Amino acid sequence: MTTLIDYLTCLNTSDSQWGLWVNPENVDEYRIGQFIFDNGGLDDGWVCVGRLDNLSFGFQHTSGAIKEYLDDNDCELTYKGRTVKVNRDGILEAYSSGNLDQEFQEFLESEAESIMGVWAEEEAWGFVHNKLPEIIAQAQEAVA
């Protein structure tokens, strides 16, 4: 089983009917379940930390990652064997309006994937180490 941080980093979409429960003693012990079956129905001390669609740290805004990729490379990139300087704002405007050449758009999206992965990992780490302890404490206080 992967760690909770790894799972949340890769999670990129989900139905709002599914949730995540963790063992408060070891957050890397977790399970996925449907709210209709698991929400309050299991009295095993595990804590519901939220809906999967709200925990989808792997789902990042691609346009922001493309912007960061272009900025990191001073708007200079190698595409189809040619190094070119591009207009960042023009690229981002064309991307958001859906007017980029499909092949070029796919190129930019693939270049941005690693940036989105880093962002997702940072968000997942922050959630597990900062927010999750608060959620667990609140759930334990409610039971006590």
> Can you give the pLDDT at residue 54?
81
pLDDT value at position 126?
Answer: 92
Whole-angstrom distance, CA of residue 22 vs CA of residue 5: 12
Each residue's pLDDT tens digit, 32-59: 888 776 555 456 788 888 888 888 776 6
Residues (pLDDT < 50) of the chain are 41
Q: Give residue 52's pLDDT.
A: 85
State residue 105's pLDDT score. Answer: 95
pLDDT of residue 100: 93
Task: Please state the domain extents for the chain.
Answer: 4-58+119-143, 62-117
Contacts of 18 (CB under 8 A, 6+ apart): 32, 33, 34, 35, 51, 52, 53
Look up the pTM and report it. Answer: 0.68
